[in-house]
A = this chain, B = another copy of it.
Amino acid sequence: MASLSGLCSSFPSLKPNNRIGGELSPVRKDSLAVSTRSNSSFKHSVAREVSADLSKTNDVAGLKQAKQGGLEKDPKALWRRYVDWLYQHKELGLYLDVSRIGFSDEFVSEMEPRFQAAFKAMEELERGAIANPDEGRMVGHYWLRNAKLAPNPFLQVQIDKTLAAVCDFADAVISGKIKPPSPEGRFTQILSVGIGGSALGPQFVAEALAPDNPPLKIRFIDNTDPAGIDHQIAQLGPELASTLVIVISKSGGTPETRNGLLEVQKAFREAGLDFSKQGVAITQENSLLDNTARIEGWVARFPMFDWVGGRTSEMSAGVDIREMLVGASMMDEATRSTVLRKNPAALLALCWYWATDGIGSKDMVVLPYKDSLLLFSRYLQQLVMESLGKEFDLDGNRVNQGISVYGNKGSTDQHAYIQQLREGVHNFFVTFIEVLRDRPPGHDWELEPGVTCGDYLFGMLQGTRSALYANDRESITVTVQEVTPRSVGALIALYERAVGIYASLVNINAYHQPGVEAGKKAAGEVLALQKRVLAVLNEASHFSLPSSSLIQRLDDLQMQFSHFNAHCEDPAESLTLQEIADRCHAPDDIEMIYKIIEHMAANDRALIAEGDCGSPYSLKVFLGECNVDELYA
Max chain B Cβ within 10 angstroms of own Cβ: one of A231, A425, A443, A562: A425
The verdict on A547 contacting chain B, using a C-beta distance below 8 Å, is no
Copies per complex of this chain: 2
Known contacts A199-B412, A467-B518, A516-B414; decide if A390 and B424 are in contact (CB<8 Å): yes
**Is A256's CB within 8 Å of the partner chain B?**
yes
Q: In A243-271, which residues have CB < 8 Å from any B CB?
A: 255-256, 259, 262-263, 266
List 25 A-B pairs, Cβ < 8 Å: A223-B409, A224-B454, A225-B370, A225-B457, A256-B460, A263-B453, A359-B425, A360-B425, A385-B420, A389-B417, A400-B425, A402-B420, A404-B420, A404-B425, A414-B516, A419-B515, A422-B518, A437-B602, A441-B563, A449-B631, A459-B530, A460-B519, A463-B526, A466-B526, A467-B522
**A284 CB → nearest B CB, Å:** 17
Complex Cα gap A390–B421 (Å): 9
Q: How many residues of A contact B (CB 8 A)?
A: 164
Which residues of A461-488 have CB atoms within 8 Å of chain B's CB atoms? 462-464, 466-468, 470-471, 479, 481-483
Provided the pairs A78-B591, A223-B411 are in contact, do residues A400 and B423 lie with their beta carbons within 8 angstroms?
A: yes
Q: In the complex, how many angstroms separate the beta carbon of A235 from the nearest chain B beta carbon?
A: 6
A417 x B451 contact (CB < 8 A)? no
Tell me the bound Cα distance from A523 to B213 in angstroms. Answer: 34
The verdict on A371 contacting chain B, using a C-beta distance below 8 Å, is yes
Give the segment of A79-87, A109-117, A307-315 that binds chain B: A79-87
Q: Does A604 contact B (CB under 8 A)?
A: yes
**A302, B460: Cα distance in complex, Å:** 29
Name the residue among A95, A390, A412, A617 with the largest chain B CB count within 10 angstroms: A412
Contact of A523 among B228, B456, B526, B527 (CB under 8 A): B456
Contact A422 B231 (CB under 8 A): no
Say if the beta carbon of A495 comes within 8 Å of chain B: no
Further contacts, 5 of them, CB under 8 A, given A388-B420, A450-B632, A459-B526: A43-B49, A224-B456, A259-B447, A266-B445, A436-B599
A513 located at the interface, meaning its Cβ lies under 8 Å from any Cβ of chain B in the complex: yes
Contact between B416 and A534, CB atoms less than 8 A apart:
no
| A527 CA / B460 CA spacing, docked (Å) | 9
